[in-house]
Amino acid sequence: MRIYDITVPLSADTPVYPGDPAVAISPWTSIAAGDLANVSQLTLCSHSGTHLDAPRHFSDQGMPVDEIPPALLVGTARVVEVLGVKAIGRQDLHRLPVAGVERLLLKTDNSELWQEEGFKQNFAALTAEGVRYLLESGVKLVGVDYLSVESVDGDGEVHRLLLDNGVPILEGVNLAGVPPGEYELICLPMKIKGGDGAPVRALLRGEKAGGGANAFDPHTSKWPLA
């Protein structure tokens, strides 16, 4: 059994979305300073690092993060590659095995951005057209490998289309080194009462390094039937 930790570590160096508070971790008590134990103070926003967007993020009436059913956040997921594309639309997704997939993680060129310092504006993101195709395909959770599912010049439509349809968004995962294929996804957020989102520890678990015996080969048009 191979386990991939697709979570971005939280530190002062973690990139944050423009306008969000930076991550700060400082000692509150310290054994080195003569205290009984080490205790740290954390300063971060609900959308720091690897995190889950809840419907409450874009609607005061939306479901908060603490009420999202855990069964939606744990279960079979598929990782698909969309490389060389910045605006991921219907045409890009149509060629991929996404129909009937409940939990979909998009591996893009973004995963390489985690090697660089600071926030990068020109990341790959979904278009509204692409989101509509995913909704038509039955997707119930979408994961992306940078800090937003929507481009920085978006008006929130991409987020609202997903969240208003009850589809939580797993943002800020790192899929570098994760082969396309089927896995078990485990992405449990902090249980923040009434929260619009929360950091998560996200894991992918597969039978083999390639996500299982029936992993999708992105270099062919074939998808194993058994």
Residues recognised as catalytic: 57
Distances in whole angstroms, Cα of residue 163 to Cα of each of 53, 130, 139, 156, 166? 8, 14, 12, 10, 5
Distances in whole angstroms, Cα of residue 89 to Cα of each of 63, 74, 155, 217? 27, 26, 16, 21
- Name the DSSP class of 196: S
The tokens describing 31, both together, are 């054994």
Three-state DSSP at 109 gives helix
Count, in order, helices (H) and strands (E) of the chain: 4, 12
